[in-house]
Structure 1
Amino acid sequence: MKRPIRALAAIGLFIAGTATVITVAATPAQADVRICEQYGTTTIQGRYVVQNNRWGSNAEQCINVTDTGFSIVSQQGSAATNGAPLSYPSVYFGCHYTNCSPGTNLPLQVSQISAIPTSINYTYGSGTYNASFDIWLDPTPRRDGVNQMEIMIWFNRQGSIQPIGSSVGTGTVAGRTWDVWRGSNGSNNVISYVAPSPINSWSFNVLDFVNDIRSRGAITNSWYLTSIQGGFEPWNGGVGNGVTSFSTTVNQGTPPTTPPTSPPTTTRPPVTTPPVTTPPPGGGGACRVAYTANSWNNGFTGNVTVTNTSSSTVNGWTLGFSFPSGQQITNSWNATVTQSGSSVTARNVGYNGTIAPGASQSFGFQGTHGGTNGAPTGWTLNGTACSS
């Protein structure tokens, strides 16, 4: 699901799009179908939509669609590698600019999804391209227009291209290690997971990636999954690239009740703090706070770990602190966070209100800053000062 470019500020901006859909066939393909129409589509297996989606150029691109996937058979033109790609030929499940795959249950709220078992097989040809698996989400159940959140999984990349934004470290998702990038293309936010070496075939749970960006503060469980897509973004060449098989199912049900306790590991060094040697005064017990942040442009995520260093169990906690640089929290996880001016209050939620002696609880939040993202100060636990 690719969209028109508004501005190109980063190398290899991968943007989504078109608001026009031309339907070539409304019934499942029984024999190979060749699509050269700029936004031509067809359906396969009575379940998925295959789209040519030549959104970045008017030059000809043709794909050959089989009953299990597609391949690029003709590709004209080229695009500079410091700009956007030519197209996003792909197969998808869900809704793309009002064209929904047959019988799809998307859009569906993340809180109502228990698993998304998915399998895809790629074949690789020549040229400058990425093999991109896209996952789209929005705060509303959109079937048209630009979604606010795009997850890109780069199974392969060839040439001097890179994801939108900047690298924010590495992370392990679905049993694999990825280089994680984060940014915005001007229309939507993007988190990209880049494989260190090409992946030809993989079966995995898409919900693992949805949960990972949720733990990074990019979405909440109230957001909606709108589509799942597998394809290619070519800058030049690309003939021979294809998806030979694609399958996905969005299982409805209650997801696991234990949410992630902290955003995924990154390569950024954590903040280290010395242990408390003298308990602070007051009736709330001794405590220690560790804070780490990942910043980009005018946004950031923060992770807070509060440790009970006293000999008494804390039953129900309220952590207070202040931002020194005008930061503003926009959403949070594992705590109910409110803000008044520079003062912030975080209260436990139902499942993490107890902190035994020597134990810790963690929560996180996403926010904005005006160019300076200083660490919070004045930590207090139930009214008692904490070390930091």
Structure 2
Amino acid sequence: MKARIALAASALVAAVVGGGIALSAPASAVNTTLCDQYASTKVQGGEYIVQNNVWGTSARQCIDVTDDGFTITQQDGVNSGGAPTAYPSLVWGCHYNNCTNGFEPIRADTTAFDGLGSKSSLKYVSGGVWNASYDIWFDPTARKDGQNTGAELMVWANHNGGASPVGSKVGTVTTAGGTWDVWYGNSGWNVISYVRTSAAASVDFKVTDFYDDAVQRGYAKDSWYLTSIQAGFEPWSGGKGLGISGFAVTEGGSGSTPVETSAAPTLAPVTPTAAPTTAVPTTTEPSTGTGTGTAKCTATYRVSQSWGSGFIGEVTVKNTGGSATKNWKVDWTWPAGQKVTSSWNASSVQTGTKVAATSLGYNGSVNANGTTQFGMQVDGATATPTLTCSAA
């Protein structure tokens, strides 16, 4: 299971987002190197799992594993947009039926859940496109295998080179010793990302510091089960040298103030081969439309990232009517021959300069005043077209 540049991110392959199925049998060793795509090894006697988890590229990645962390020693993958190349990480819980010792999913309305926390220390590099993030998964059932369908709660301690979460920013909260921007999107499950507004070299928090906020916002439920706590990095490019140490899951996370980096890593990215690394200012072009049914919708557009020969566009569809939609459609015309090369969370068809993006089976229903997002990778100069949204 894993995540994305919120460039839309996330949902290129719903069945393996955030991780991919662990195909390699877990070993049990420390001070080892993992290079196979889904290689994993148990550490601290099986209390935790370290996984290479290269799910978004076929390029080689290697990590050096210690008893409480790892360092990325080779990272050849370069993704120019959409999903990251990998999520090398430590795991407590179950990831596609690869479970730590004696783990059972924990319901979020229990005392056992209230005390759960985690801590870790993080090492950064100045170049590349990446985030340093926790990935905490929830499911409506006590599942140990497959893709979770409840919520993916991400805690971003730092990010670089224009990486941003799935969806769009919906608020800001102060918790766990810091201030965090809150992002929400949907990839077939709710993705709630808490992005620290200043980089932290270490974190120590309770899961409830963030999950309670997600529940209050309506993105998660107390009846859902925590299935894993994972911590690591999502590199789109340039991840060599990123490292994590001191990872632990605690029964009474202190929520103490994270240690601020004395000098926050430079956010200007280096330029890997054929990779988009220049973040551009957000641009927004709203427009409205009326469908044949009772629901109305608006479509809001922004460019989240651009490079020499293309860019990533994100669209937020909002239901402004009084009842849920059954489906929606967004139409626009490119001004200068731009071409959609891939899209996620929508089916996009381009004829000449005209594009029609329609909802998929899982996101056509949008509640009154609710939103959903889709994204696209586009060849050509950065552009901001006028959108027309219709819904039924």
- Structure 2 length-normalised TM: 0.61
Q: In structure 1, how many angstroms separate the alpha carbons of the residues matched to 2:59 and 2:207?
A: 33
Q: In structure 1, how many angstroms separate the alpha carbons of the residues matched to 2:159 and 2:36?
A: 26
Number of positions where the alignment pairs a residue of Structure 1 with one of Structure 2: 259
- Superimposed CA distance per residue, residues 259-296 of structure 1 (whole angstroms, 9 cap, x where no aligned partner): xxxxxxxxxxxxxxxxxxxxxxxxxxxxxxxxxxxxx6
How far off is 1:172 after superposition? 1.9
RMSD: 2.5
Are 1:118 and 2:118 matched, yes or no? yes
Contact 1:178–1:195 (Cα < 8 Å) also in 2: yes
Letter aligned with residue 108 of structure 1: I
Contact 2:6–2:163 (Cα < 8 Å) also in 1: no
Moved more, 62-71 or 169-178: 169-178
Q: Aligned to 2:49, what secondary structure does the other structure show?
A: strand
How far off is 1:19 after superposition? 2.2
Q: In structure 1, how many angstroms separate the alpha carbons of the residues matched to 2:42 and 2:105?
A: 19
Q: In structure 2, how many angstroms separate the alpha carbons of the residues matched to 1:131 and 1:174?
A: 16
- Superimposed CA distance per residue, residues 129-157 of structure 1 (whole angstroms, 9 cap, x where no aligned partner): 00011110011111111112101111111
Letter aligned with residue 138 of structure 1: D
- Superimposed CA distance per residue, residues 282-327 of structure 1 (whole angstroms, 9 cap, x where no aligned partner): xxxxxxxxxxxxxx64579xxxxxxxxxxxxxxxxxxxxxxx7125
Alignment map for 1:172-251 (pairs within 5 Å): 172-185=174-187, 187-250=188-251
How far off is 1:369 after superposition? 2.5
Q: Aligned to 1:210, what secondary structure does the other structure show?
A: helix
Q: In structure 1, how many angstroms separate the alpha carbons of the residues matched to 2:6 and 2:154?
A: 18
How far off is 1:188 after superposition? 1.9
Partner of 1:44: 43
Q: In structure 2, how many angstroms separate the alpha carbons of the residues matched to 1:142 and 1:20?
A: 16
Partner of 1:151: 153
Moved more, 9-18 or 52-61: 9-18
How far off is 1:242 after superposition? 0.9
Q: In structure 2, how many angstroms separate the alpha carbons of the residues matched to 1:117 and 1:143?
A: 20
How far off is 1:67 after superposition? 1.1
Contact 1:32–1:66 (Cα < 8 Å) also in 2: yes
| % identity of equivalent residues | 44
C-alpha spacing 1:55/1:182, structure 2 compared with 1 (3 Å): same
Letter aligned with residue 224 of structure 2: W
Q: In structure 2, how many angstroms separate the alpha carbons of the residues matched to 1:247 and 1:94?
A: 12
Q: Structure 2 regions of 5+ residues with no counterpart?
A: 12-16, 253-315, 326-364, 372-392
Partner of 1:139: 140
Partner of 1:287: none
How far off is 1:43 after superposition? 0.7
Partner of 2:54: 54
Moved more, 204-213 or 51-60: 204-213
C-alpha spacing 1:299/1:174, structure 2 compared with 1 (3 Å): farther
How far off is 1:368 after superposition? 4.3
Partner of 2:96: 97
Give the structure with higher Rg (CA).
1
Contact 2:61–2:76 (Cα < 8 Å) also in 1: yes
Q: Structure 1 regions of 5+ residues with no counterpart?
A: 252-295, 301-323, 329-366, 374-388
Counterpart selection for 2:106 from 89, 105, 108: 108
Q: Aligned to 1:64, what secondary structure does the other structure show?
A: strand
